[in-house]
Structure 1
């Protein structure tokens, strides 16, 4: 399955990472089918080396495609804690890294292997 993410959603995540720097941010990737068309922000705790999202606050029935979070360093490689989160929530996971430019991110599958994701134009109302 090849996932797609709306360019505006990715830009919003990069901006959130900039706003939170030097702390990490974390959000869920929402959408339908293979299209990620929203960031789902739940309460989370954040520091310079971790971010913990409160999944118990997820609305019942909401489908989570994956996660997105920031690393306040140029390293977008998943940590052991990241890999544990990847295995528990969704199928696609994005790490955005400092300095949070359009090319400063990587995507991984639930086992932590790098995977491709297509950035597409469109509006958040689009559904596959």
Structure 2
């Protein structure tokens, strides 16, 4: 398992902006890291987004390594659902949920079990 030091500020701002532009639908993607810093969001082909869920087509994932996932909660509740926890276990150990209103205070990171974890914002 990769040791993650934090998330690049630009990557987090991208996540928040895409989440905001997807509103009222959910946004979902996968996270990639370079040198221990989350630097990229992968949007998989065929991802389905609705007001209550986003469905990642994991079978469309290229043969690459991811460290986790990201998705938005348009209702602003920044807590993993049962469906979130099922997906978390398949995609890594760092899972970001961005909640409405999608600002720097409205996101959290969780581990694969759904426990909140600290994730430092790193200025790139």
The TM-score normalised by the length of structure 1 is 0.90
Match of 2:84 among 82, 85, 104: 82
1:49 paired to 2:52: yes
Aligned to 2:34: 32
Other structure's SS at 1:96 match:
strand
4+ residue runs of structure 1 moved beyond 3 angstroms? none
Cα-to-partner distance string for 1:12-57 (whole Å, 9 max, x where unaligned): 0000001110000001000135211111111200111100011112
C-alpha separation in 1, matches of 2:82 and 2:5: 24
1:94 paired to 2:96: yes
Match of 1:20 among 19, 22, 27: 22
Q: How many residues align?
A: 121
Mind listing any 5+ residue stretches in structure 1 that lack a counterpart? Answer: 123-128
Report if the CA contact (8 A) 2:4-2:37 is conserved. no
Report if the CA contact (8 A) 1:45-1:52 is conserved. yes
